[in-house]
Chain A
């Protein structure tokens, strides 16, 4: 099967997965025993006021109609001569150029969901990239050292720390780092997203990125160590050494390169999952990302925001998986026919 056909098939499958996840979230969200109109108006609001708000939110329509409207409006084009800021038809849009992305309007925030997500997503992207970079550098580095110094104190330390990292949940690690590095030592800010400057943003990013980075590094240490140990025993590596190549060259060219194949897969999937929002870590550090938004939306039963954040999470995972598949197909042609 050609790479292009493989890609097309995977793309079609990805679109289907995102559609199914979004539909299921939309349906489940409405199936939950909770009334969004009541959540908006408050537990003691008078029934007449709640009923009016239910109509204003469009919740009085059948679920299928609500979903059809949602799908119909999701991406539209703003006709020339129309100002989307003034036209109520586009009041729930996040507009870029002439394209309107319409995921509905948040019940609680009264803002377009796509605009709310656009505010939060960059924070999550930055956190995901920083955390993954840290994980890879720390984890793969430790894994290589552990494998090359097998059965030494370095190996034992790396494996021990990795075990500790895997065992410690992020809520514990995060609170611990916050307490020691921010509260006790006052080296980093306790929480928040910063004041908008690069320096302050980087300082605020450090703790959540470190929390997720350490947690992820533990997996990469184990993975890299095991992969490298397996590869070191292979014939072509032994042959390369026998031919007189330096140990460093053999490790970099013949071992690490091959070990990267499964590591890249995990990186892709990890990154995809993180882009959907690192819920607990973002909560601990009040990082204004998708995770924090999701938790708040769940708490408020803000249906359109829940559906929007799930859509982002599903798309991130599916896209990451797609990219990994393509990379894999490049790295290992055998997978294209599977």
Chain B
């Protein structure tokens, strides 16, 4: 998506909001409206000019009632979207074309999350051939205004994109074409990269392969690991015993043996003890929200009336608690590690593996799941996305709640609402750091880890850097032909082939 389509704004190399098709923007009407000034001379891949009416058309196309957009509700803060989505209005009143190069987007109220949400791909403009209504067949001939244009798409096999000469950054992108292979097994990808047939592997490693590349004297130079914008841990339902007692929740958060987790997850995840993950604005590397301290955890359990003697194994919470793990090895592994950690403070858990649908149904209903495997992956790069669905009353519903701990306090709700509308970024991030402190203290989750994004590129792929938000950004990447000629020590297959060829040559008459 990122290769083919470009939007008014984008996420920069550090995850910050940067101009893209818009060269600048201004905020007015007390933070309730944005005026975007488009670059001049913008064109679509088909050569037709791109102006503000195309942006308006594309926004209305994506948010039309018949369009199956899975994140349409993200855009409801825009004035008139709700009525438009419900079929009560023919256009979005809050999206106004002031001139061919000026587009105004009005919000219902000041909203600091608007730009990070706008930077996502759904509202990016599509060519006039994409029309005013979404059409399934458009994807085959996808046409936008991104740095590359689609030249071939064999579903399930490969996608080929070529450099778009009309791209607004002079000289960029540097690569003439990119071919993305689909459905290639992880083992095969490893063999292909070693033989020089792939220019990179992006997060698709089998574990032995990742270890091989990480420890290889040559390959390790081209192997990168960076934390993904996500957070994992254990949720505790604050309305169900024993987790309705904050002391028990804090004890669980303290019992999680993070130094052990760090060893266990090495190279696959990094241990965390708070909400905001690295790469998200507001992340504070010096902040430690939940510290591991088993002695203190046992003291808290005793205070809560569940004293436990580790020597005799007597005491603790009298019932066995069901830990809802959902499907998959990762969740089971997390549950098993927790089971061991909690055995030191007198909490006994049994792990329940379920299908994902059942997991979502159970953990999303109040008073059904006492405890389970918690995970939140970034929707958009803003701290609000890590608090509002998971730790506020906005995420609580009779069914399909996203706040699996059912944790909310009026104070935190108010703080998050203020932060959501605060336009001053410094003040805003300070509020989210305060929210992080409150959540860690109230411990509706015991935070455990962020996963790592692992990438390997060939030595000849220059200028490529992993991006904190997007997977695979190739705008600055280029191929060094000299380095490609030289290859490197990993290309064993070619040596054997050369030797075989030479042998056959000698045997031939």
Residues of A in contact with B (beta carbons under 8 Å apart):
32-35, 38, 40-50, 52-53, 56-57, 85, 91, 105, 109-111, 116, 119-120, 175, 178-179, 182-187, 190-193, 283-286, 288, 292-293, 296
Shortest beta-carbon contacts, A-B, top 5: A41-B70, A186-B497, A110-B136, A47-B400, A33-B355
* B38 → A minimal CB distance (Å): 29
Q: Across the interface, do B156 and A33 meet the contact criterion of CB distance under 8 Å? A: no
* A300 → B minimal CB distance (Å): 11
Asked if B493 is at the interface of the complex by the 8 Å CB criterion, the answer is yes
Given A185-B497, A288-B156, A292-B156, A44:B377 Cβ within 8 A: yes
Q: Across the interface, do B66 and A286 meet the contact criterion of CB distance under 8 Å? A: no
Q: Which B residue's beta carbon lies closest to that of A289?
A: B156
If A41-B70, A292-B183 are given as contacts, then 7 extra A-B residue pairs at C-beta distance below 8 Å, sorted by A number, are A40-B70, A43-B360, A47-B399, A49-B71, A119-B154, A185-B497, A191-B184
* A308 → B minimal CB distance (Å): 14
Chain A residues closer than 8 Å to B400, beta-carbon distance: 47, 50
Chain A residues closer than 8 Å to B379, beta-carbon distance: 44
* B391 → A minimal CB distance (Å): 14
In angstroms, Cα B327 to Cα A270, docked, is 35
Interface residues in B178-234 by Cβ distance below 8 A to A read: 181, 183-185, 187-188, 191-192, 194-195, 197
Q: Across the interface, do A56 and B70 meet the contact criterion of CB distance under 8 Å? A: no
Contact partner, B71, options A45, A184, A296, Cβ 8 Å: A45
Q: Across the interface, do A178 and B188 meet the contact criterion of CB distance under 8 Å? A: yes
* A190 → B minimal CB distance (Å): 5
Given A53-B70, A190-B197, A44:B402 Cβ within 8 A: yes
User: What are 19 A-B contacts defined by CB distance under 8 Å?
Assistant: A42-B70, A44-B377, A44-B402, A46-B71, A47-B397, A56-B66, A91-B137, A110-B139, A111-B140, A116-B155, A175-B187, A183-B194, A183-B195, A185-B497, A186-B195, A190-B188, A190-B197, A286-B157, A292-B156
Q: Which A residue's beta carbon lies closest to that of B501?
A: A186
Given A38-B357, A47-B397, A286-B181, A184:B389 Cβ within 8 A: no
Chain B residues closer than 8 Å to A109, beta-carbon distance: 155
Q: Across the interface, do B357 and A53 meet the contact criterion of CB distance under 8 Å? A: no
Q: Which A residue's beta carbon lies closest to that of B377?
A: A44
Q: Across the interface, do A48 and B73 meet the contact criterion of CB distance under 8 Å? A: yes
Q: Across the interface, do B192 and A190 meet the contact criterion of CB distance under 8 Å? A: yes
Asked if B358 is at the interface of the complex by the 8 Å CB criterion, the answer is yes
Q: Across the interface, do B376 and A44 meet the contact criterion of CB distance under 8 Å? A: yes
Chain B residues closer than 8 Å to A43, beta-carbon distance: 356, 360, 377
Contact partner, A49, options B72, B136, B399, Cβ 8 Å: B72
In angstroms, Cα B192 to Cα A284, docked, is 13
Q: Across the interface, do A186 and B496 meet the contact criterion of CB distance under 8 Å? A: yes
Q: Across the interface, do B181 and A192 meet the contact criterion of CB distance under 8 Å? A: yes
Chain A residues closer than 8 Å to B68, beta-carbon distance: 40, 52-53, 56-57
Q: Across the interface, do B191 and A34 meet the contact criterion of CB distance under 8 Å? A: no
Asked if B482 is at the interface of the complex by the 8 Å CB criterion, the answer is no
Chain A residues closer than 8 Å to B357, beta-carbon distance: 33-35, 38
> How many residues of B are counted as interface, with CB atoms below 8 angstroms from the partner's CB atoms?
48
Contact with A along B79-104 (1 / 0, CB 8 A): 00000000000000000000000000
Asked if B69 is at the interface of the complex by the 8 Å CB criterion, the answer is yes
In angstroms, Cα B181 to Cα A110, docked, is 20
Q: Across the interface, do B72 and A184 meet the contact criterion of CB distance under 8 Å? A: no
Q: Across the interface, do B155 and A283 meet the contact criterion of CB distance under 8 Å? A: no
* B490 → A minimal CB distance (Å): 11
Contact partner, A182, options B140, B158, B183, B191, Cβ 8 Å: B191
Q: Which B residue's beta carbon lies closest to that of A183?
A: B191
Given A38-B360, A56-B66, A184:B496 Cβ within 8 A: yes
In angstroms, Cα B66 to Cα A239, docked, is 79
Contact partner, B157, options A182, A185, A192, Cβ 8 Å: A192
Interface residues in B382-441 by Cβ distance below 8 A to A read: 389, 397, 399-400, 402
Most buried by A among B137, B188, B195, B497: B188
Q: Across the interface, do A286 and B493 meet the contact criterion of CB distance under 8 Å? A: no
In angstroms, Cα B331 to Cα A43, docked, is 15
Asked if B260 is at the interface of the complex by the 8 Å CB criterion, the answer is no
Chain A residues closer than 8 Å to B158, beta-carbon distance: 192
In angstroms, Cα B182 to Cα A296, docked, is 11
Q: Which A residue's beta carbon lies closest to that of B156?
A: A288
* B198 → A minimal CB distance (Å): 10
* B366 → A minimal CB distance (Å): 14
In angstroms, Cα B494 to Cα A187, docked, is 10
In angstroms, Cα B493 to Cα A35, docked, is 45
Q: Across the interface, do B494 and A186 meet the contact criterion of CB distance under 8 Å? A: yes
Asked if B489 is at the interface of the complex by the 8 Å CB criterion, the answer is no
* A105 → B minimal CB distance (Å): 7
Chain A residues closer than 8 Å to B389, beta-carbon distance: 44
In angstroms, Cα B69 to Cα A48, docked, is 11
Asked if B486 is at the interface of the complex by the 8 Å CB criterion, the answer is no
Q: Which A residue's beta carbon lies closest to that of B389?
A: A44
Contact with A along B48-78 (1 / 0, CB 8 A): 0000000000000000001011111110000
Asked if B296 is at the interface of the complex by the 8 Å CB criterion, the answer is no
* B398 → A minimal CB distance (Å): 10
Q: Across the interface, do A178 and B191 meet the contact criterion of CB distance under 8 Å? A: yes
In angstroms, Cα B183 to Cα A285, docked, is 9
* B107 → A minimal CB distance (Å): 18
Chain B residues closer than 8 Å to A183, beta-carbon distance: 191, 194-195, 493
* A183 → B minimal CB distance (Å): 5
Q: Across the interface, do A119 and B155 meet the contact criterion of CB distance under 8 Å? A: yes
Given A175-B187, A191-B185, A296-B183, A34:B355 Cβ within 8 A: yes
Q: Across the interface, do B72 and A288 meet the contact criterion of CB distance under 8 Å? A: no
In angstroms, Cα B137 to Cα A85, docked, is 9
Chain A residues closer than 8 Å to B187, beta-carbon distance: 175
* A311 → B minimal CB distance (Å): 18
Q: Across the interface, do B70 and A185 meet the contact criterion of CB distance under 8 Å? A: no
In angstroms, Cα B76 to Cα A52, docked, is 14
Interface residues in B344-359 by Cβ distance below 8 A to A read: 354-358
Asked if B483 is at the interface of the complex by the 8 Å CB criterion, the answer is no
Chain A residues closer than 8 Å to B157, beta-carbon distance: 192-193, 286, 288
Q: Across the interface, do A179 and B73 meet the contact criterion of CB distance under 8 Å? A: no
Chain A residues closer than 8 Å to B195, beta-carbon distance: 183, 186, 190
